Each structure stands twice: as C-alpha cells, then as structure tokens.
Amino acid sequence: MTRTKSHSKLIHRFPALMAGLFLISLLSACGQGDGTDDQQSKVEAEAAKQATQPVGKLKVNKAEDSVEKLLALSSFQPAAKKAKVLFELPVWEKTPAEIDASATAAMAAGDKQLDAIAALSVEASNFTNTIAALDDASYPVLNVSDRIDVIRETSQDKAMRDKALEASKKIQAWYVAAGFREDVYKTVSAYAETKPELQGEDALLLKDTLRDYRRNGMALPKEKRQQLKELKTELNNMSLEFATNI
C-alpha cells in the first residue's frame, strides 16, 4: 500500500479512532482505582470494535446518519431553506483576471439594483422593492468580497494577492459610494415618510437603514457629505493595507 493510500485510509477512519479513544478515556477514568482489569479489557475491546467499523456504518446520532451524509452539503439544505439562507460552496477565482472580472460584475449587479430603487416613485415604493431590495443589493458584492478577502490573505501567489487587494479597495469604495447615493436615499426617505405599518424584523431593518444614512451624513450639507465620503474611503484603504501587512 502506498503512503498516499495509507494516509487517506487513516483520515477516513479518524472519527472512529477518536470515538474509541474517547470511550477508553471516559470509562477508564470512571473505573480508576477499583483494581479491576476486566473493565479495562472490555473498554479496549469495544474501542477496537468501533475503530474497525467502516465510516459509512458509524452511528453518530439517534438518526443513524453516516459521517458521509453529515458531511454532504445536501444534508444542511433543509435547515438553510427553513432559515431562508442560500447555502452553497464558493467557486474560487483562480487567476488575477478572474478576480477582476468577478469584482466588476458584482459591483455592476449591485449598481443595477440601486438604480432600480432610485427610479421608484413614492406611489410605487413598498418594503419589498425599497428597503428589502436595498439590503439585497449588497449581496452580490459581499459574496465576491468574502472570497477575495480570503485570497488576499492566504494565496501563495503574489500576483493573486496584489490583484485581490486592488479589487478589495474598489469594492470598499463601491460600498462607500452606495451609502452616499442621494437618489437612493430620497426613495428610501420618501417611503419612510409614508409611515408604513411594519412589524418585527421589517420594522427593525427600516430603522437601521435610516440610522445608517444619518451616520453617513445624509442630513449634512453636500460639501460636508463629500468630505465625510473621502475620509471613509481613506480609512477603508488604510484598514485594508494594515490587515494585508500585519
């Protein structure tokens, strides 16, 4: 047997081996000092039996799910669906060009959603197409940004790290610009002034959205807002440089 196959076999049997070791430690501790060797022998026999079981037959919980089933992405989907969460494996960018393309496409998708919100009239505005849509607009950008952050901090390829840093700066600038879009703010503000009857999370999201706009200085004169925007962009870039070089 080659070293690779042996290593792979050991990895697949690791859960069983750990279960056996845990059982030995637990029962050995319980029987410590009673002077009986029979109990220790029984524990070791049970541990050995567990360690030789195929991984697919291990009973890891009351539902008797296999380790493979628990590790399968599909096994988490029912819970994700119940929580209204999109659960999927990331598709990683493998070249600097792919990083640039992903970031550009994500920001364009976000801008398209923001443009749609800005174009709404007061009469046409509702929670779904205004507040919820504003929250959703950042998702494609956030999704790409998370992957790029990992590449920036872990890739062994300097060209990939450099491109990821460049893309991260563009994305951070996009976030700042999106938060300062006056046309989108006007739509959100006009909708809020209609005093919609919202409950629970919806009411909280509207409240937090208006709070964020206030923190972005939307109530300030345009000149002051521009100054704040420039400072936030500079701060984000400094934070990225620090995180990259720490």
Q: Is there a single domain that holds both residue 67 and residue 143? A: no
In a domain, 90, yes or no: no
- Structural domain of 70: 59-85
Please determine, for residue 80, whether its predicted confidence score (pLDDT) is greater than 90: no
pLDDT-above-90 percentage for the chain:
50
Q: Is there a single domain that holds both residue 79 and residue 15? A: no
In a domain, 91, yes or no: no
What lies within 8 Å, CB to CB, of 61 at 6+ separation is none
Give the torsion sign (CA, 185, 188, 191, 196): negative
Q: Is there a single domain that holds both residue 222 and residue 171? A: yes
What lies within 8 Å, CB to CB, of 242 at 6+ separation is none
* H runs (alpha helix) in 31-95: 37-51, 67-71, 77-82
Contact present, 93 and 147 (Cβ < 8 Å) = yes
Q: Is there a single domain that holds both residue 230 and residue 120? A: yes
pLDDT tier at 207, thresholds 50, 70, 90: very high
For residues 193 and 122, give the distance between their C-alpha atoms in angstroms, rounded to a whole number: 10
For residues 128 and 186, give the distance between their C-alpha atoms in angstroms, rounded to a whole number: 16
CA within 13 Å, CB half, 230: 6
Q: How many domains does the chain have?
A: 3
Residues across the chain: 246
In a domain, 101, yes or no: yes
* H runs (alpha helix) in 52-137: 67-71, 77-82, 96-118, 133-137
Q: Is there a single domain that holds both residue 1 and residue 123? A: no
**pLDDT at position 11:** 44
Between 29-38, 80-89, 147-156, 167-176, the lowest mean confidence (pLDDT) is in: 29-38
Mean pLDDT of the chain: 79
Q: Is there a single domain that holds both residue 36 and residue 144? A: no
**pLDDT at position 35:** 45
For residues 12 and 46, give the distance between their C-alpha atoms in angstroms, rounded to a whole number: 19
Q: Is there a single domain that holds both residue 48 and residue 67? A: no
**pLDDT at position 67:** 53
pLDDT tier at 84, thresholds 50, 70, 90: confident
